[in-house]
Amino acid sequence: MRRLANKISLAMEERKRLRRRSPLSIAVADRFSQLSSEAWRVATDGGSVFHSAAYQRMFERVRPPNVEPRYALISDGDAPVAAVCLQIVTLDHSHLGDLSRRRMLRKLGAKMRTRVLVCGNLLVYGLHGVSIARDADRAKVWQAVSEVIYRVRRAEKLAGSTDIVVLKDFDEAARKDSSVLRKLSYGEVETEPNMVLAVNPAWRRYEDYLQTLTSKYRSDIKNRVFKKFEEAGCSIETLDDVESHAPDLQRLYLQVHGNAGLRPFTVPANYWPELATLAGADARVHIARRDGRIIGFIVSVRDGDTALAYHIGFDRETAGEGVPVYLRLLHASLAQAIEYGARRVSFGRTALEPKARLGCKPEATIVWARHRHPFLNQLLQPMLKLVEHDVAPDVAPFKG
């Protein structure tokens, strides 16, 4: 009994220690220009393009109207040790995909309006909320991140409460790295896995990838994807003039986006040329054409040694005819990743089965979540454990 009491006492002391003000210095800003660009560069050196100062400036120009960015720099004395990107997203019935539910929820009006504080970037898969400098004390940084979130949430009471906080998307290593959040009453919930294809170093061309597949899967790709696509009079090409064709890309993006069950944001049409300009040679837009008309597109982005099959859109009527537009675009993005010399390709969390047939393996991902009210947070934690997600099929398309 005494051992249990000591264990509880130590746990309470640890909780009190973590809830004290961080020993690190914190600067929080509503706009990126309010922070030191040089300090941000130091904190994000070697990190993702989605952490870069250029991306933050671009995001402010083309952000979805219901998403507001917030930023923070964490320093140890005068030395920057971490950069934090947050987004406050306002949700209502219009962000739900099921029309019948939307009609019902519309009657509730403003009662359905809620604001969620997200540490991360809703527009891309991956851990893009926090970039930690090399050699920084990561446990101290994550404690400081929790203080950043607390400060932002408290300040937002002036504009409207942010009841729910979400930190996205943590792989297994990052989950362990940020485990201090559990002691701060955050609960973890597993999401659908990110489908990742490990690129064989021997692949120099897309044809090298095909040759490593078993004959069954290679024939399936050639006959069910490429042949059917070409027989339908379709072709794939690289789009150089993104700005002129932004309305076409937006039209196709909305056809896919509008079919989603939950769509917390919608990017504006000027997002496409801005992204292409920002990434430069590290971004490619491939389009599918039929009779001169653009019927699909995919954006591929090189981010360090990872290539992302980032955004996709296609004409649903054409796809309804049995034309494999979606699958052909995935292969175009894979070919681009091999050309980039990427070590891995991130295909995201949807359509798990066709991505598994490409050779992707599921990468387990969690989000940390917390409700601001202690009692409601106690109810939220067991509910998070009940959240179900699709499981990727076990497919072995490669030889050997």
pLDDT tens track for 213-267:
999 999 999 999 999 999 999 999 999 999 999 999 999 999 998 776 677 899 9
DSSP, res 393: -
Over residues 281-307, the mean pLDDT reads: 97
Helix (H, G, I), strand (E, B) or coil at 316: helix
Per the document, the length of the chain is 400
Mean pLDDT of the chain: 88
Confidence at residue 112, expressed as pLDDT on a 0 to 100 scale: 63
Write down the pTM of the prediction.
0.88
pLDDT category at 277 given cuts 50, 70, 90 is very high
Over residues 351-378, the mean pLDDT reads: 86
pLDDT digits (tens, 9 = 90+) for 188-213: 888 889 999 999 999 999 999 999 99
Confidence at residue 382, expressed as pLDDT on a 0 to 100 scale: 59
Question: Is the pLDDT reported for residue 8 higher than 80?
Answer: no
Helix (H, G, I), strand (E, B) or coil at 329: helix
Residue 335, φ and ψ in degrees, nearest 5 = -60, -40
Cβ-contact 87, 343 below 8 angstroms: no
Q: Which of 125-139, 199-213, 229-243, 284-298 has the lowest mean pLDDT?
A: 125-139
Q: Are strands 79-91 and 114-119 parallel, antiparallel or unpaired?
A: antiparallel
DSSP, res 242: T
Confidence at residue 381, expressed as pLDDT on a 0 to 100 scale: 60
> Phi-psi category of 342—alpha, beta or left, where left has phi over 0 and alpha has psi -120 to 50?
beta
Please list the residues that pair with 83 across neighbouring strands.
73, 131
CA distance 330 to 336: 10
Question: For the chain, which domains are there?
Answer: 2-193+364-384 (3.40.630.30), 195-363 (3.40.630.30)
The tokens describing 162, both together, are 């942010």
- Say how many C-beta atoms besides its own lie within 10 A of residue 374's C-beta: 9
Question: Is the pLDDT reported for residue 162 higher than 70?
Answer: yes
What is the Cα 388 distance to its own chain's centre? Answer: 19
pLDDT category at 98 given cuts 50, 70, 90 is low
pLDDT category at 4 given cuts 50, 70, 90 is low
Question: Is the pLDDT reported for residue 317 higher than 60?
Answer: yes
Question: Is the pLDDT reported for residue 387 higher than 70?
Answer: no
Question: Is the pLDDT reported for residue 158 higher than 60?
Answer: yes
Cβ-contact 43, 133 below 8 angstroms: yes
Confidence at residue 379, expressed as pLDDT on a 0 to 100 scale: 58
**Helices (H) and strands (E) in the chain — how many of each?**
16, 15
Cβ-contact 69, 275 below 8 angstroms: no
pLDDT category at 159 given cuts 50, 70, 90 is confident
Over residues 60-71, the mean pLDDT reads: 96
Among 236, 252, 238, 377, residue whose Cα is nearest residue 315: 252
CA distance 321 to 313: 16
Over residues 362-373, the mean pLDDT reads: 88
Question: Helix crossing, 53-62 with 37-44: angle to 10°?
Answer: 110
Over residues 175-187, the mean pLDDT reads: 90
pLDDT category at 371 given cuts 50, 70, 90 is confident
